[in-house]
Amino acid sequence: MITYAEVPDDRITSDYLGERYNIAEAKARVGIHDRFIQFTKHNAIDAPALFDEVWEFYRNVGVTSWQSRGRLSLYGASLYYNPAHDPSMWHLGSFGTPRFSNLPESEYYNAPVQVEKYGGGKADYIDPYAFRKQHPFIAERLPNLRAFFESFNFPVTRVTARTLNGLFNIGGGYHIDSKDTFSIRLNFCLSTNGKFGLSYQNGPVVMFEPGDAHMVCTARHHSAYASERCNFQRTNLIVDVIPWYDYDPILDGWKPNQYFGKIHPYDMVEQGIVTFG
């Protein structure tokens, strides 16, 4: 096991684990898997109940615009946090970063996956595994969200609630979320009016219905999408799932699980090995 405390300050936790456990060889064994359309499941969650609790969270804990942009078109909150951060940061820590706020558009969208160029270690916004604890307000006051997160049979990390304001132009911010296809990012739609979805650059648009679960192909350039400006605010939950490591919350460390190097993370979702709800 490798604990968070052991990860050097200037390293990303998942990169450091990957180096120590030779994930390069494990990835080579299962191969790349980068189809545009990944797993989609309708009626995967109780969208109205989770929607109400997300808005309880916004109202009681706080809400912010995407911190690296500060625009009115996207706001929300981090629902999981890094315990190394001050509690005042817990609902903000993974919701963009002021560190990238002055980057030009041409550099901005790929900065999170270029640690060598833009810096940032394990206490930074760009370290997904570090946002590993559920916000205490959820445990105390939001039973449906709590039960939903605890229903995952793999470690959950860096969860955010994101609300798009349809009054603004949505889309075109094509970016990747990770350097390769070995991260699982699930997108759960809590509310929509039929005009919102996810667009892949030079690829398809996936439209969402409330209750949908969709797995994002994180290494393909993609963007939030709305077919037109509208008087509606769309809310989604974004949940990162760790496919190849067990996480021990007491020791605060990770170790490879039985799927490490055996089956591609996307196949784990498509074959029903990763379950939730």
Least distance from Fe ion to the Cβ atom of residue 238, Å: 8
Applying CB under 5 A, the residues found at the interface with Fe ion are 177
The closest alpha carbon to 51, from 164, 223, 254, 210, belongs to 210
Closest approach, Cβ 110 to Fe ion, in A, equals 11
- Mind giving me the DSSP string for the chain? -EEGGGS-TTS-HHHHHHHHTTHHHHHHHH-----SS--EETT-S-HHHHHHHHHHHHHHT--EE-TTT--TTEEEEESEE-TTS-GGGTTTTTS--GGGTTS-HHHHTTGGG-HHHH---TTSTT-GGG--EE-HHHHHH-HHHHHHHHT-SS-EEEEEEEEEETTS------B-SSSSS--EEEEEEEE--S-EEEEETTS-EEE--TT-EEEE-TTS-EEEEESS--S-EEEEEEEEE-SSEEEETTTTEEEE-TTTTTS-HHHHHHTT-S---
Minimum CB distance to Fe ion, residue 223 (Å): 8
Least Å distance, CB 229 to Fe ion, is 21
Cβ distance to Fe ion smaller for residue 109 or 232: 109
Q: To the nearest whole angstrom, how small is the minimum distance from the Cβ of residue 222 to Fe ion?
A: 6
**Shortest Cβ contact with Fe ion: which residue?**
177
When the beta carbons of 220 and 260 are compared against Fe ion, the nearer one is: 220
Least separation, in Å, of the C-beta of 254 and Fe ion? 23
Pairing mode of beta strands 222-226, 184-191: unpaired
Report the residue number, 134 or 236, with the smaller CB distance to Fe ion.
236
Min dist. Cβ of residue 2 to Fe ion (A)? 27
Q: Would you say 142 or 237 has its CB closer to Fe ion?
A: 237
